[in-house]
């Protein structure tokens, strides 16, 4: 499977949907596990975007000193 490149906003939106679906229940164990795995992936994507933004922010602050 090719590596997907999601924006922070689209990954977060999909993650919110995954959480909603898990909380609502009514899925099989297999479906729940697939949703959980997708949610973990999406959370990692979001964290990567946030870490990158924080790094850029820190670099900008440091260069202004």
Residue 1, in any domain of the structure: no
| Alpha-carbon span 5 to 33, nearest angstrom | 22
Mean pLDDT of the 25-48 span:
97
Domain-embedded: residue 32: yes
Report if residue 34 sits inside a domain. yes
Provide the whole-model pTM. 0.84
- Count how many domains the chain has: 1
Domain that holds residue 14: 10-63
- Is residue 40 within 8 Å of residue 11, measured between CB atoms? no
Average pLDDT over residues 37-43: 98
Average pLDDT in the 40-59 region? Answer: 96
Residue 5 and residue 18: Cα distance in Å, rounded? Answer: 18
Quote the CA–CA distance of 55 and 15 in Å, as a whole number: 23
Cα–Cα dist 52/8, whole Å: 11
SS3 of 25, please? coil
57 part of a folded domain = yes
- Name the DSSP letter for residue 28: -
């Amino acid at each position: 499977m090719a590596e997907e490149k999601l924006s922070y906003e689209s990954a977060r939106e999909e993650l919110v949907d995954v959480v909603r679906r898990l909380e609502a229940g009514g899925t099989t164990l297999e479906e729940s596990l697939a949703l959980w795995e997708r949610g973990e992936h999406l959370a990692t994507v979001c964290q990567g975007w946030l870490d990158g933004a924080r790094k850029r922010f820190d670099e900008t602050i440091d260069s202004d000193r």
